[in-house]
Amino acid sequence: MRPFAPQLSIQGLLLAVVASGALAGEFESRSHQCPHLPAARLEWASHYRACPLPGTVTLADESSQGFAWAFPLKCITPAATENNTAPRADCLFTSTSFRNGHGISLIASAITTSHLIGMGSFDDAPLPLAAQQRLSLGPAYKIVPVEGKGMGVIAARSIKRGEIIMTDHPAILIGTSFLANSKPHHRRRVLKQAIRQLPEATRKKVESLQRGKEEYEVDAILGPNANTVLLGEEGGGQVHVGLFAETARINHACRPNAHSKFSERRLTMEVMAHRAIEAGEEITMSYIPITTPIEERHKYLKEHWGFDCTCPLCRSSKDAIEESESWRRRQTSLKSTIEDARKQGFYEDAITMSEEWLQFAEWDMIPPLAPEFQDSLVDLYLQNGDMVNATRYARMAYDGWAKFGSVDDEKLEDARLMVNKIDKINEEKRQR
Ligand SMILES: [Zn+2]
């Protein structure tokens, strides 16, 4: 698998960026960089003040400088209201070359799309070294029929705790404003077109997903298989619905052995192992936040996915279930207490409670992402003026992120900057 092979269309865009003088280095953060030339060709583009819009970019056959979407854009503009004179149009953008021909159909506002292009989300930069090494290990999973559940994902070989099992890209990404504001028949027509425009292999994967009971085909495909992910302008906090055709095959368990993490910068879902997994074992994830109490879990699973949970935990003894519920309650309360202590400046208390937090890893209640935990301790030790421990955890976090080997090396880069910052503080102290 070579998911990040170079793509000419993206490079064409980057050339246009360079030509306009908007080099990445001139901006503090790549995410705030305006991605391309303001050549306002669409009426509504002039309503926006911020970055130039991807809707203004020419199609491949019209110009060699534009971002080459594979099909003419299809846009839906909701009716203007009194408070909203410049309604937010949502368009269907399809790239068939994305990730070495995996392809993607994005239904989002022009601003969100512009933001993603500017951040390099469609860009096929080489993978970080650890991610490349992981690929050489061969596939960690296979998709096979699982008794009583249709299809499922099982481990093709033994998998280590914390290892990334699967990397998957969205076939379709949909902004929730489009889902909320479009008329049902418009919505279905655009969604159908979004699927139809995908490259054949990806389209077939999408069409073969297990269907829900919804009346219309697109709703039945999306209903039980879609995920929500956060991305977009203003700090990446906007809910989008994503269809990840491989991740969607992973079945639910209330005490799962895997957990997923989405990277906006790489438009990639990474699934990692909570604990060591044997070859042949089913890979499971929780479809709802892990701390949700059992009654709510069962109700939600039934309402949203239409099944009664028969996972190993739900089939186990009353005592085992009660033990798991008490872990969930403790985690919920500890999380808010740590946050309160941090806000009020009780750093020592926050540190002690954070150490306690580690216990949850034993019960597979938190992803075994030690570097994430160490990052937060670095911050607490720094605030508390304990440079010895801040230095120790900063180095551990850096080593941890390097070893984790995500396709997105943003955390690794943050950890490296933190180590440098702490080294500088230590050096200044020595000189005093
Ligand atoms: Zn269950």
pLDDT in tens, 239-267: 888 999 999 999 999 999 998 888 988 99
d(CA 197, CA 211): 20
Domains and CATH numbers, the chain: 8-285 (2.170.270.10), 318-431 (1.25.40.10)
d(CA 175, CA 169): 16
d(CA 12, CA 8): 6
Q: Kindly give the distance from the C-alpha atom of residue 308 to the centroid of ligand 1, in angstroms, as a whole number.
A: 8
Residues lining ligand 1 (ion), CB within 5 A? 254, 309, 311, 314
As a whole number, mean pLDDT of residues 36-49 equals 29
pLDDT digits (tens, 9 = 90+) for 335-352: 889 889 989 999 999 888
As a whole number, mean pLDDT of residues 286-306 equals 87
Residue positions counted in the chain: 432
Q: Kindly give the distance from the C-alpha atom of residue 311 to the centroid of ligand 1, in angstroms, as a whole number.
A: 4
As a whole number, mean pLDDT of residues 305-313 equals 89
Q: Kindly give the distance from the C-alpha atom of residue 370 to the centroid of ligand 1, in angstroms, as a whole number.
A: 26
Q: What pLDDT does residue 15 have? A: 28
Return the residue matching tokens 């489009």: 178
CB-based contacts of 13, cutoff 8 Å, min separation 6: 35, 36, 57, 66, 67, 117
pLDDT digits (tens, 9 = 90+) for 150-164: 899 999 999 988 899
d(CA 224, CA 245): 12
What average pLDDT is seen over the chain? 79
Q: Kindly give the distance from the C-alpha atom of residue 165 to the centroid of ligand 1, in angstroms, as a whole number.
A: 22
Q: Kindly give the distance from the C-alpha atom of residue 314 to the centroid of ligand 1, in angstroms, as a whole number.
A: 4
Secondary structure element (H or E) that encloses residue 417, with its range: helix 410-431
CB-based contacts of 227, cutoff 8 Å, min separation 6: 241, 242, 243, 244, 247, 248, 260, 262, 269
Q: What CA–CA distances, in Å, run from 234 to 239, 276, 306?
A: 12, 38, 35
d(CA 248, CA 224): 8
Q: Kindly give the distance from the C-alpha atom of residue 301 to the centroid of ligand 1, in angstroms, as a whole number.
A: 9
Q: Kindly give the distance from the C-alpha atom of residue 305 to the centroid of ligand 1, in angstroms, as a whole number.
A: 13
pLDDT digits (tens, 9 = 90+) for 169-227: 999 999 888 888 888 898 999 999 999 999 999 999 999 998 888 889 998 998 888 88
d(CA 313, CA 293): 13
Is the pLDDT score of 312 beyond 80?
yes
d(CA 38, CA 44): 13
Q: How many CA atoms lie within 13 A of 48 on its CB side?
A: 24
Q: Kindly give the distance from the C-alpha atom of residue 323 to the centroid of ligand 1, in angstroms, as a whole number.
A: 14
Q: Kindly give the distance from the C-alpha atom of residue 254 to the centroid of ligand 1, in angstroms, as a whole number.
A: 4
pLDDT digits (tens, 9 = 90+) for 64-109: 334 578 888 888 876 666 555 555 788 999 999 999 999 999 999 8
More confident residue, 122 or 135: 122
Looking at the DSSP bridge assignments, the partners of residue 105 are 94, 172
Ramachandran category for residue 295: left, alpha or beta (phi over 0 → left; psi -120 to 50 → alpha): alpha
Q: 24-34 burial, b if ≥16 CB within 10 A, otherwise e?
A: eeeeeeebebb
Tokens of 331: 């985690």
Query: What single DSSP character describes residue 125?
Result: P
